[in-house]
Amino acid sequence: MNQVRIGVIGAGRISHVMAQAHSHVPESKLQGVFDVVRASSEHLASKYDIPHVFDSYEAMLASEEIDAVLVCTPTFLHEQIVIDAANAGKHIFCQKPMALTLEQCERMNEAATRNGVILQVGFMIRFTPPFVEVKERLDSGEIGDIIAIRSAVFGWEPTADWFYDPTQGGGILIDTIIHTFDLYRWYAGEVETIYADGGAYVFEGARKHGTPDNIMCSLKFKNGAMGSIYGSWSSGYGDKTLEIYGTKGSFFIDLMEAQGGRAFIKKNNENPSSAEGWNNLGVLWKFGYQQEARHFTHSILGRVGPSATGSDAVEAQKLAVLADRSMRSSQPLKV
> Residue 261: its pLDDT value, please?
73
pLDDT digits (tens, 9 = 90+) for 191-226: 999 999 999 999 999 999 999 999 999 999 999 999
Residue 71 sits at the vertex; the CA angle it makes with 89 and 124, to the nearest 5 degrees, is 110
d(CA 75, CA 97): 7
DSSP H or E stretch at residue 55? none
d(CA 312, CA 108): 12
d(CA 169, CA 163): 4
> Residue 285: its pLDDT value, please?
52
pLDDT tops 70 at residue 106: yes
- Do 73 and 37 form a contact (C-beta atoms < 8 A)? no
Q: Do the domains spanning 4-123+291-306 and 126-284+315-334 agree at the CATH topology level?
A: no
> Residue 129: its pLDDT value, please?
84
pLDDT digits (tens, 9 = 90+) for 288-329: 888 899 999 999 999 999 999 999 999 999 999 999 999 899
Q: Higher model confidence: residue 272 or residue 34?
A: 34
CA distances from 221 to 122, 143, 287 (A): 24, 17, 30
Q: Where are the domains of the chain?
A: 4-123+291-306, 126-284+315-334
4-123+291-306 CATH pick, 3.40.50.2000, 3.40.50.300, 3.40.50.720, 3.90.79.10: 3.40.50.720
pLDDT tops 70 at residue 97: yes
pLDDT digits (tens, 9 = 90+) for 60-81: 999 999 999 999 999 999 999 9
pLDDT tops 90 at residue 286: no
Q: Concatenate the DSSP letters of all residues of 228-275 into one string.
A: EEEEES-SSS-EEEEEEEESSEEEEEETTT-S-EEEEE---SSS--TT
> Residue 257: its pLDDT value, please?
73
CATH class name, domain 126-284+315-334:
alpha beta
